[in-house]
Chains A and B, each alone.
Chain A
Amino acid sequence: MSAATAVVSIKNLKLALPPGADRRYAVDDVSLDLTPGKILCVVGESGSGKSMCAHALMGLLPDTIGREAGEIVYDGHNLLALDETGWLALRGRHIAMVFQEPMTALNPLMRIGEQIAEMFEAHNLLTPKERTQKALQLLREVGLPDPERSMRAYPHQLSGGQRQRAMIAMALALEPAVLVADEPTTALDVTTQAQILKLIRDLQRSRNMAVMFITHDFGVVADIADRVIVLQHGKVVEQGAADDVLLRPQHSYTRALLAAVPSMQPPQRAPLAGRAKAVEVVGLDKTYVSGGGWFQPERRVRAANEVNFDILKGETLGLVGESGSGKSSVARLVMRLIEPDQGTIRLGDIDFTRIGGKELRKARSRIQMIFQDPFASLNPRRKVGNIIADGPIAHGTDAATAHKRAGELLGLVGLNASALERYPHEFSGGQRQRIGIARALALEPEIIVADEAVSALDVSVQAQVLNLLEDLKKRLGLSMLFITHDLRVAAQICDRIAVMQRGAIVELKPTAALFSAPEHAYTRELLAAVPGQTSSSRAA
């Protein structure tokens, strides 16, 4: 690999963070080459500086970032020395970008067609009529259904995957030499992600583009990368051909990251048959009705459709599905955060759906919840000690005992008891999630409902929290309902898995059986779409 064939070379790039940040350099001495027809994956956890590289390449760095040293060479010029006029000619035409969140990256007030045609307009190309025709052709090329209609659609009228296709069409409009894709599939469901990855791969090959693909997901890397570069705290820790990095990682950080990626092979689990039922859900139904004013048509969304399952004592049941499948609604129905239209939830000997008022508040201690977003699940104005102790106090424990117990619980989840007197914002995402677990355990529940409890965490932290959950479950004899969109995570922790689609459970089986012999078409589709299967099989 020589610099002669590279279309873009980043050489010893050093970008300074504004004073007061947690480190001095956002990007420290990074060098990389983008080659025509190849995809370079830039991998790292949040805050590793990977997005900063992408933005530097587009000339879109915020003013607060100092360009300390290094150069970005394209076509014999150093892009860092370019003025705004120079960038205007370059952006879109020579280097184009696809963003993470296609909903916010598109102007909500402009039609898709107009936004694509704007690409040509920005560079004074073609007549307005030709621009429209070209845009239509592009939409067809990226595989949008009914391109004529999509041209006239506003972003909110398309689905997430369709929006991302439109973004890609836009980026490709002027046939750029380089495409920068900043986590383009992170906001998408797994089946959509697989389609978009394939699209990018196909287009990149047919157009011989150089692609810089930013991601945090090693599964995606395995599916798409030709070369890989791993960033940690702004520094390159390892780079090389995809197979070398994935199969023979040299640096300990890369090895740790790869080891933390949950594999698709479910571990052996002890059979649980014959145990008593901790939770029994029968015929759960919930339909959301919106609109329905005087002149508005009603909109109905069936969030739960005849949902039946039970969880044995000491068992973990996984509830897996894509966004909008109703899995979170089921979690909230089981918690009685929302009321079902029909159906029964039985917790051991009590009917959780038929009680109310004081009786319900008392019974709530038997089933507790761990939430998804570690930044939203703790009240920013209450001390950690109060957050954990509030529940037991509400159930009649005296304050001193409750606080003493809170300290012990912090130890149990791997935090120091000194955390009691501090506020949530002083902790990292993983630590906050541990506090959330301590809060759930404070009431000594029999059942834990974990709603995407590790989805917002970096992969290394995710692995730690999963281990903690597994360990606590065993030690305390808990039953768990584990909601996730990630089949790899579910494989690691669940005894049985239920797959949900459009509010209904389409398949419910022991984990190993589900992975080895999926029956329902949707389950198979989901399994096939999980990224990184090629490499994990190679790695195994």
Chain B
Amino acid sequence: MLAFIAQRLAKAIVVLFAIVVLNFMLIRMAPGDPAVVMAGEAGASDQMFVNQLREKFGLDKPLPEQLFIYVKGIATLDLGFSFRQQAPVSQLIVERLPATLLLTLTAFAISLLLGILFGTLAARFAGTWLDTAVTIFSLIFYATPLFWVALMAILLFSVAVDWLPSFGYETVGANYTGLAHVLDVGAHLILPATTIGLFFMATYSRMTRASMLEVQRHDFVKTARAKGLRNAVIQRRHVLRNALLPVVTLAGLQAGTLVGGAVLTETVFAWPGIGRLMYEALLQRDYNLLLGVFVVCSAMVLAFNLITDLIYRSVDPRIEFAS
């Protein structure tokens, strides 16, 4: 078990290193002087800052040395300075990270629970109106752009009927404390989390349904029936457990998309997370900040993949730990 984690961590570090190198190359792919690019669009920064950057990243030195300086910076968690926001990039990200984690994890939980529930129902009642309803519902949400669902949610729930707040993380100026604060954040969380959740729910419910119908045909289900087990028990203990394996795999693969969903949703709902930060960096052409957020997003995805891998291995005894 520990050896496995160590192995996966080592692999993750290698991937992260590759992402950092990719980042390094991306800056140099951009047209123009990398120092100016990093500082933001021409004219937005002063010459002193550009010179400072040039010195810091050794931009007058040969490329391998530049790469070394860049990697060393990131290894010490120094992601550079955002001239636009007048703050270190790492500090900006750390400030915003909790909000994004809250949003994405809530959305992930919603999507997985609802997706598995609906998928199970659709498989159990395959061919009936319920199955058709779940299928149509899933197909529609799977085909709808996230940002548009977000906007429609605002239109419905805070313009047409003023039920839920559509803006920000908490009510500005209310200064709630304790439980009131939790409830306030919770109310703000509902729309953005559900928006992301519905999109992924569509994926999981379709996967769960297909997977359950597939497992249904396996011989061991026949064995279970030959034992005289009730169908409900067969479905829960034998079919669902096996059917969830590919869903776990899918959930792991979806991590990257989840981060992308956060960028769009946070932008629409002005949720102060790193997705929103990415949008701000984009608006201001603040490449240094943009790339910093990108590296952190990638690291998040790696961590998420590691977790789903561990879950998968603890569920499926056929994959044995090196021991």
Contacts and interface: CB of A to CB of B under 8 A. Distances in A.
Contact of B226 (A89, A91, A294, A295): A91
A123 interface: yes
B318 to A, nearest CB: 5
Nearest to A104: B219
B228 interface: yes
Interface in A71-107: 84, 87-93, 96-97, 99, 101, 104-107
A295 B219 contact: no
A295 B317 contact: no
Interface residues of A, number: 36
B242 A108 contact: yes
A293 B7 contact: yes
Interface in B270-323: 315-318, 322
Interface in B3-25: 3-4, 6-7, 10
B10 A97 contact: no
Given A109-B315, A170-B227, A295 B242 contact: no
B313 to A, nearest CB: 12
Contact of B229 (A60, A96, A109, A118): A118
A170 B227 CA distance: 9
Given A101-B219, A108-B318, A109-B242, A294 B227 contact: no
Given A88-B230, A91-B228, A295-B4, A99 B222 contact: yes
A119 interface: yes
Contacts of A90: 228
A91 B227 contact: yes
A92 B223 CA distance: 10
Interface in B218-250: 218-220, 222-231, 233, 237-238, 241-242
A320 interface: no
A89 B228 contact: yes
A89 B316 CA distance: 32
Contacts of B6: 295
Contact of A109 (B7, B223, B316): B316
A291 B4 CA distance: 13
B7 A107 contact: no
A104 B214 CA distance: 13
B228 A156 contact: no
A122 interface: yes
Nearest to B10: A294
B219 A99 contact: yes
A295 B318 contact: no
B318 A156 contact: yes
Contacts of B231: 84
B223 A105 contact: yes
A101 B218 CA distance: 11
B230 A96 contact: no
Contact of A108 (B222, B237, B317, B322): B317
B226 A96 contact: yes
Interface string A300-321: 0000000000000000000000
B185 to A, nearest CB: 39
B218 A104 contact: yes
A106 B226 CA distance: 12
Given A119-B227, A154-B318, A293-B7, A105 B219 contact: yes
Given A97-B226, A99-B219, A104-B220, A295 B316 contact: no
10 residue pairs, one from A and one from B, having the closest CB atoms:
A92-B228, A91-B228, A104-B219, A92-B227, A154-B317, A295-B7, A105-B219, A122-B229, A97-B226, A107-B220
27 contacts: A60-B222, A60-B225, A60-B226, A84-B231, A87-B228, A88-B229, A90-B228, A91-B225, A91-B226, A91-B228, A92-B227, A92-B229, A93-B228, A99-B223, A105-B223, A106-B220, A107-B220, A108-B242, A108-B318, A118-B227, A121-B229, A122-B227, A122-B229, A154-B317, A294-B10, A295-B322, A297-B322
Given A92-B227, A107-B224, 16 more contacts: A60-B225, A87-B228, A88-B230, A89-B228, A108-B220, A118-B229, A121-B229, A122-B230, A156-B317, A156-B318, A170-B223, A170-B227, A291-B322, A293-B7, A294-B7, A295-B4
Interface of B: 3-4, 6-7, 10, 218-220, 222-231, 233, 237-238, 241-242, 315-318, 322
